[in-house]
């Protein structure tokens, strides 16, 4: 995996901000908001980087933006940044009884089947939590066939990052079916809903500042891309477990291929339902060349990516 990176750093105090480009190297310059001595209090400071790689042509590094109207130039292209908070101290609670429930009438909206709902903005935002955790909240979306090693990679990744004192959380496709998604079957529409909900929850974890490792077969490109689209640019890192079907089927750790071949499971990915391999994954992990990469070796590739892209610093 060869990665080129263009670096930009942004520092903001309240609504004032500045942007400058740093060296095209992996390591961050020693100018994080912490080293600059900026406050850790909510809404006071943040930094960001913009990166590009040969794996994915658009910029994929963690992106912290300021105002919807701000435009910057990345790889020669003008890019619109999306607002990611931490630029104001609006909506602080008032200190009088009448104002306890908020002043004024907030904007009402209709979202899907929900009407009369209001977005409650809070003064502690994503970047504040990231500053506290000294990491960037993101989603590592691990996709691949059943038996390709997604869950094992997720565990190795969680262990490797925990050893570096980084906070991770695994959303495992099977595990969430024990709770949040226990009402869903394996029918096509329910599998899609399983992925949608997992993507939405992963987004919440990233917003919480956590490095969320989502491990799901997620066979369809459209559904994976829909989850990617939920997050800010750079906050979604797709890891493709590129293991051939015959290898996965030979492993068959859960005995599911055998059941599928016997016709006891219908619509099983790789047997009678397609797997659409990602075209622009941030990271592709292969194990089919006779090489014997351990789970920890593969996790190290992902951790190295995160480290070099600046996800493991605030």
Active-site residues: which are they? 218
The number of residues that bind a copy of itself (CB under 8 A) is: 93
- Under the binding rule (CB under 8 A), the answer on residue 229 touching a copy of itself is no
Where are the extended beta strands (E) located within the chain? 7-13, 16-22, 71-74, 77-80, 108-111, 114-118, 138-143, 168-172, 211-215, 236-242, 283-286
Supply the DSSP string of 150-199, one letter for each residue: HHHHHHHHHHHHHHTT--EEEEETTGGGGTTTTT--SSHHHHHHHHHHHH
- Report the nearest approach of a copy of itself to the CB of residue 140 (Å): 14
Residues paired with residue 114 on neighbouring β-strands, in sequence order = 111
305 and 3 Cβ atoms separated by less than 8 Å: yes
- Report the nearest approach of a copy of itself to the CB of residue 283 (Å): 17
- Report the nearest approach of a copy of itself to the CB of residue 280 (Å): 24
CA 88 vs CA 103, 251, 262: distances in Å:
17, 53, 59
Looking at 128, 235, 238, 282, which residue binds a copy of itself (CB under 8 A)? 128
Residue span 1-30 as binding mask against a copy of itself, x where in contact by CB under 8 A, dash where not: ------------------------------
Complex with a copy of itself: residue 3 or 217, whichever CB lies closer: 217
Complex with a copy of itself: residue 87 or 128, whichever CB lies closer: 128
63 and 233 Cβ atoms separated by less than 8 Å: yes
Instruction: Please name the residues in contact with 263: beta carbons below 8 A apart, sequence gap of 6 or more.
Output: none
CA 191 – CA 98 distance, rounded (Å): 47
- Report the nearest approach of a copy of itself to the CB of residue 232 (Å): 14
CA 180 – CA 173 distance, rounded (Å): 11
DSSP state of 268: -
Residue span 259-278 as binding mask against a copy of itself, x where in contact by CB under 8 A, dash where not: x-----x-------------
In the range 79-108, which residues lie near a copy of itself by CB under 8 A? 91, 93-98, 100-106, 108
Residue for token digits 């920890």? 296
- Under the binding rule (CB under 8 A), the answer on residue 206 touching a copy of itself is no
- Under the binding rule (CB under 8 A), the answer on residue 251 touching a copy of itself is yes
Coil, strand or helix: which one is 78? strand
In the range 135-164, which residues lie near a copy of itself by CB under 8 A? 147-149, 151-152, 154-156, 158-159, 162-163
Looking at 28, 48, 59, 205, which residue binds a copy of itself (CB under 8 A)? 205
CA 247 – CA 264 distance, rounded (Å): 21
- Report the nearest approach of a copy of itself to the CB of residue 281 (Å): 19
Looking at 16, 76, 120, 262, which residue binds a copy of itself (CB under 8 A)? 120
Complex with a copy of itself: residue 21 or 264, whichever CB lies closer: 264
């Amino acid at each position: 995996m060869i990665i080129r990176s263009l670096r930009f750093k942004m520092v903001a105090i309240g609504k004032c901000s500045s942007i400058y480009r740093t060296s095209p190297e992996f390591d961050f310059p020693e100018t994080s908001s912490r080293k600059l001595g900026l406050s850790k209090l909510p809404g006071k400071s943040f930094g960001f980087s913009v990166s590009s790689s040969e794996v994915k042509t658009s910029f994929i590094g963690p992106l912290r933006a300021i105002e919807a109207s701000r435009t910057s130039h990345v790889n020669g292209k003008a890019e619109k940044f999306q607002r990611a908070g931490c630029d104001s101290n609006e909506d602080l609670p008032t200190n009088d009884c009448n104002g306890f429930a908020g002043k004024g009438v907030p904007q009402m909206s209709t979202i899907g089947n929900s009407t009369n709902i209001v977005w409650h903005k809070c003064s502690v935002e994503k970047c504040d939590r990231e500053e506290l955790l000294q990491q960037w909240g993101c989603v590592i979306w691990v996709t691949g066939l059943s038996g390709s090693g997604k869950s094992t990679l997720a565990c190795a990744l969680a262990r490797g990052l925990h050893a570096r004192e980084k906070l991770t959380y695994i959303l495992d496709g099977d595990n969430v079916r024990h709770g949040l998604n226990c009402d869903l079957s394996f029918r096509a529409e329910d599998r899609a809903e399983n992925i949608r909900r997992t993507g939405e929850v992963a987004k919440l974890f990233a917003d919480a500042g956590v490095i969320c490792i989502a491990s799901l077969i997620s066979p369809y490109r459209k559904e994976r891309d829909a989850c990617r689209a939920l997050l800010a640019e750079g906050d979604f890192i797709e890891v493709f477990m590129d293991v051939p079907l015959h290898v996965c089927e030979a492993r068959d750790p859960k005995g599911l291929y055998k059941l599928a071949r016997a016709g006891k499971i219908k619509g099983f990915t790789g047997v009678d339902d397609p797997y659409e391999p990602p075209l622009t994954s941030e990271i592709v992990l292969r194990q089919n060349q006779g090489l014997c990469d351990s789970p920890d070796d593969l996790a190290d590739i992902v951790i190295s990516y995160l480290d070099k892209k600046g996800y493991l610093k605030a």
